[in-house]
Amino acid sequence: MNLDGLYTRTTVSFQPSLPFDELIINGHEVAGKGLNRVSHILNLVREMAGFKMNAEVISENNFPAGAGIASSAAAFAALSLSASKAAGLNLSEAQLSRLARRGSGSACRSIPTGFVEWQMGTGDNDCVAVSIALSDHWELMDCIAIVSAQHKKTGSTEGHALAWTSPLQAARVADAPRRLDICRNAILNRDFEALANIIEHDSDMMHSVMMTSNPPLMYWQSATLEVFHQVREWRGKGLPAAYTVDAGANVHVICLKEFVKEVEKRLREVPGVSDVLVAGVGGAAHIV
């Protein structure tokens, strides 16, 4: 589910006079690992375009980065589209999704519109994301309970590298096709109860792997758990809401649009929640 209220806006300019790639995020120059990841995508674009010019990349977003709100997904989707256009390339949606995936796996899902599925494929060429339903298919909302806006100590990439040290990871991977089928059908059929159960189950499984990896990763804070308890209590009393958490402490609470104001209000009352960001289902990555 792409989001319409949260964005990353990226400008890429290839310049023959630049001695090396430059990266500016939210007004601050970035070097080291962050710049290297961006240059990796730029190198792929340069190879496709047939030139070697370095680039200035200026990016900004309106939500906390590195805090479990898919900032890497948004960043590399925006970078892939902007860089390819700046290089004079006219890539298809599948080609853009593949390129974005090379920067951050989840970024491939931020290219198509609406509700998106990342297809495993048979190899690099067809491991891409596709839209399974347009943004107006189902009026869902994401109320993101901000527990911590701080940059997490262990990033998603490092977390993925540790996953197979957990004795639970093999079972999680083996069960993934079943969970995906349930989630896809719930979206297509607009079955909120089925969606609620499977996204909470999937989120809990992922964090169980993190907690049992070596070394273990614990992203949750006390307020994270309190949101879990509250959301399940609300749903039990008739308020359709469900939680899911990326690699971070902040909680995505999915609800139907007609209940969004009530969900937002209740989340703001949970101790430890400093803010609530609200977004609906968004469209595809695009040039502005």
70 pLDDT above the threshold of 70: no
Long-range contacts at 172-180 (CB < 8 A, ≥ 24 apart): 172/205, 172/206, 172/208, 172/209, 175/205, 180/117
| Alpha carbon distances (Å) from 167 to 172, 200, 219, 248 | 10, 21, 19, 21
Assess whether 18 and 126 both reside in one domain.
yes
| Amino acid identity, position 140 | L
Assess whether 105 and 180 both reside in one domain.
no
For residue 3, is it within any domain? no
Residue 271 belongs to domain spanning? 140-280
Assess whether 144 and 270 both reside in one domain.
yes
Strands in 251-256's sheet, in edge-to-edge order, are: 241-244, 251-256, 140-146, 275-280
Residues linked to residue 133 through DSSP beta bridges, in sequence order? 115
DSSP class of residue 27?
T
Whole-number pLDDT of residue 69: 64
189 pLDDT above the threshold of 70: yes
Lowest pLDDT segment from 43-52, 155-164, 184-193:
155-164
Assess whether 243 and 111 both reside in one domain.
no
Structure confidence at residue 6 as a pLDDT band (50, 70, 90):
confident
Assigned token pair, 218: 């614990």
71 pLDDT above the threshold of 90: no
What percentage of the chain exceeds 70 in pLDDT?
Answer: 98
Domain boundary residue among 133, 168, 191? 133
Q: Please, are residues 2 and 97 in contact by the beta-carbon 8 Å criterion?
A: no
Distance CA 233, CA 227 (A): 10
Lowest pLDDT segment from 104-108, 138-142, 149-153:
149-153
What percentage of the chain exceeds 90 in pLDDT?
Answer: 86
Assess whether 108 and 174 both reside in one domain.
no
Whole-number pLDDT of residue 48: 98
Per-residue pLDDT of 197-208, as tens digits, reads 999 999 999 999
64 pLDDT above the threshold of 80: no
151 pLDDT above the threshold of 90: no
156 pLDDT above the threshold of 80: no
Domain boundary residue among 108, 133, 158? 133
Assess whether 150 and 122 both reside in one domain.
no
pTM of the shown model: 0.92
107 pLDDT above the threshold of 70: yes
Assess whether 116 and 174 both reside in one domain.
no
150 pLDDT above the threshold of 80: no
Could you tell me the CATH number of the domain that includes residue 53?
3.30.230.10
Could you tell me the CATH number of the domain that includes residue 188?
3.30.70.890
Q: Could you give the number of structural domains in the chain?
A: 2
Structure confidence at residue 63 as a pLDDT band (50, 70, 90):
confident
Assess whether 50 and 162 both reside in one domain.
no
HSE-CB at 12 with a 13 A cutoff on CA atoms is 27
Assess whether 171 and 273 both reside in one domain.
yes
241 pLDDT above the threshold of 80: yes
Distance CA 146, CA 62 (A): 13
For residue 78, is it within any domain? yes
Place of tokens 């990016």: 59
- Report the relative pairing of strands 241-244 and 251-256 from DSSP bridges: antiparallel
For residue 84, is it within any domain? yes
273 pLDDT above the threshold of 90: yes
Assess whether 168 and 210 both reside in one domain.
yes
Domain boundary residue among 96, 116, 133? 133
Listed in sequence order, the residues at least 6 apart from 200 whose beta carbon sits closer than 8 Å to its beta carbon are 232, 242, 243, 244
For residue 288, is it within any domain? no
For residue 263, is it within any domain? yes
Whole-number pLDDT of residue 148: 85
Across the range 174-203, mean pLDDT stands at 98
Write out the DSSP string of 71-111: HHHHHHHHHHHHHHHHTT----HHHHHHHHHTT-GGGGGGS
Assess whether 12 and 78 both reside in one domain.
yes
Whole-number pLDDT of residue 160: 83
Distance CA 70, CA 19 (A): 31
Cα distance from N-terminal residue to C-terminal residue, the chain: 21
149 pLDDT above the threshold of 90: no
Tell me if residue 29 falls in helix, strand or coil.
strand
For residue 194, is it within any domain? yes
Whole-number pLDDT of residue 155: 75
For residue 61, is it within any domain? yes
For residue 287, is it within any domain? no
238 pLDDT above the threshold of 80: yes
Assess whether 195 and 259 both reside in one domain.
yes
Please state, rounded to an integer, the average pLDDT across all residues of the chain.
94
